[in-house]
Chains A and B, each alone.
Chain A
Amino acid sequence: MWSWETFIDAFPFVIKGINVTLGLTFTSYVLALAAGFIWLALESTPLRPFNFIIYWIREFIRSTPPIVQIFFLYFAWPMVPYIGTSFTPFIAAMIALGVHFSTYIAEVYRSGIESVDKGQWEASKALNFSKKDTWMKIVLPQALPPTIPMLGNYLIILFKEVPLAATIGVVGILSLGRTYGANTWSYIEPLTIVALLFLLLSYPSAVLIRKLEDKVNRRFDKKNTKVKVTE
């Protein structure tokens, strides 16, 4: 049965894991944002067979479950000859989640870039902008703002995938909730706390992102800057 006493007792125990949960969320998210660019850069080199290989690696990562990748990195990677090395649970989960989400984020970037009108590239060329200035001054400033809401959504989705790391022993709020349950035989309260913490953090973020989305849409209202993402 539900007991407020247990709830109050469990709360400080469970919340100790919030640093790890949030820490893993943000480090893997930053990795995903950076690696997203790397995928696009690798795929746009003029080497045809190379691009093709990169495309399929990315497709492979995107189409396999993150938990398989977490297990692979933690258990199997150390056994790979020559390049294999062992990671701490936190690092293994960070890399696996970061790389997994980078494959989606690359798509978001791509859709942002493709939403920039062809005429913008032509005008940049006619004005003789360098490649670098065309990207930095003209294309990316138009391509990125409309992607912010999508990027925010992926942050929330990633946050909710972080408990997967519990399976290899990363001690976040979920692990602590379970530990509390195992010690006291009261599971309802600690796991409710875990769920509430996720709700408490992701719901306001979702609202914030919706606000941001409205703002971005208002600023970039005209036809050619709407971003569509197909998964």
Chain B
Amino acid sequence: MEPIVQYKDVHKSFGDVHVLKGINLDIRPTEKIAIIGPSGSGKTTIIRLLMTLEEPTEGDIIVDGQNLWKMESGKGMKKASEKHLGIVRNDIGMVFQHFNLFPHKTILDNCVVPLVNVRKMKKSEAVELSKQMLDRVGLGDKYESYPTQLSGGQKQRVAMARALVMKPKIMLFDEVTSALDPELVGEVLEVIRDLADNEDMAMVLVTHEMDFALEVADRVLFLDEGVIAESGTAEEVINESDNPRLQDFLRRFRGE
């Protein structure tokens, strides 16, 4: 199967700091990938490049056959226009660490407004679809609430519903449980597990929930110092790798 996303020797620097040092990665259309690694290793940057929140310094990212950040011009490639980025971006959805819900809108409108304005869907259809999705994430009784009235776990579930109604082909999860109180993590992971089990879209999870990642991911990437240092099934990466930095990371993670 053709990969839906390809990273080809992607580099990213912020000023003098060289964060990503040559990422090569193929993501298959239904694949669930978990990215683990020490903080500062560039995990979040990988998915922010795909969401077009950051621009790569070097290299190409191909989404569904189209170069994300570059486009054809008369001779050779030039920097992608905002229009081009918008077209490719349509396939991608993202859930953020800090939810980023729209505080001035009800949670129903958080889902409806993008459908109506971006997908140009009829209001009645948008409301119908949004309600279904909010029901699915367990917030069927909160349509008219505002984000400030919800707990962190509820906010994050709304954020997932909002991304999901847009029917992306690729969903990105940026440390979605890191800002939550420990007792609220479970309800959010439950939703992700539901998606991983029942949805065909590709999913990329940047996470610190190691055990969870290992359980739902088809493939685990260990990112270290800006490169993918290990890649394979959970079994392979956790139990069979002899990469000393990975061993060290896992040991620290388990508090040994």
On A, residues with C-beta under 8 Å from B are 117, 119-120, 122-123, 125-131, 133, 137-138, 141-142, 220-222, 225
Residue in B closest to A134 when the chains form the complex, CB atoms: B117
Complexed CA–CA distance, A129 and B98 (Å): 19
Cβ 8 A contact of B96, one of A119, A131, A221: A119
Specify which chain B residues have a CB less than 8 angstroms from the CB of A126 in the assembled complex.
51, 53, 89, 92-94, 96, 163
Minimal beta-carbon separation of A122 from chain B (angstroms): 6
Specify which chain A residues have a CB less than 8 angstroms from the CB of B98 in the assembled complex.
119
Instruction: Flag B65-106 by CB within 8 Å of A: 1 or 0 each.
Output: 000000000000000001000100110111010111111100
Complexed CA–CA distance, A137 and B102 (Å): 10
Complexed CA–CA distance, A142 and B147 (Å): 14
B118 touches A127 (CB 8 A): yes
A141 touches B93 (CB 8 A): no
A133 touches B117 (CB 8 A): yes
Specify which chain A residues have a CB less than 8 angstroms from the CB of B178 in the assembled complex.
none
A129 touches B114 (CB 8 A): yes
Most buried by A among B51, B99, B104, B113: B104
- B162 interface contact, C-beta 8 A: yes
Specify which chain B residues have a CB less than 8 angstroms from the CB of A142 in the assembled complex.
102-104
Cβ 8 A contact of A128, one of B86, B100, B104: B86
A interface SS class: helix
Cβ 8 A contact of A127, one of B104, B148, B162: B162
A222 touches B51 (CB 8 A): no
In this complex, how many residues of chain B approach chain A with their Cβ under 8 Å: the count is 26
24 contacts between A and B (CB under 8 A): A119-B98, A119-B100, A120-B100, A120-B102, A122-B53, A122-B100, A125-B52, A125-B89, A126-B93, A127-B118, A127-B162, A127-B163, A128-B114, A128-B118, A128-B166, A129-B114, A129-B117, A130-B86, A130-B117, A131-B82, A137-B117, A142-B102, A142-B103, A221-B148
A127 touches B51 (CB 8 A): no
Residue in B closest to A127 when the chains form the complex, CB atoms: B114
Minimal beta-carbon separation of B200 from chain A (angstroms): 20
Minimal beta-carbon separation of B144 from chain A (angstroms): 16
Specify which chain B residues have a CB less than 8 angstroms from the CB of A222 in the assembled complex.
103, 148
Specify which chain A residues have a CB less than 8 angstroms from the CB of B114 in the assembled complex.
127-129
Minimal beta-carbon separation of B100 from chain A (angstroms): 4
Complexed CA–CA distance, A42 and B84 (Å): 26
Complexed CA–CA distance, A225 and B147 (Å): 14
Complexed CA–CA distance, A17 and B51 (Å): 60
Residue in A closest to B102 when the chains form the complex, CB atoms: A138
Minimal beta-carbon separation of A219 from chain B (angstroms): 9
Specify which chain B residues have a CB less than 8 angstroms from the CB of A123 in the assembled complex.
96, 100-102
Specify which chain A residues have a CB less than 8 angstroms from the CB of B148 in the assembled complex.
221-222
B89 touches A128 (CB 8 A): yes
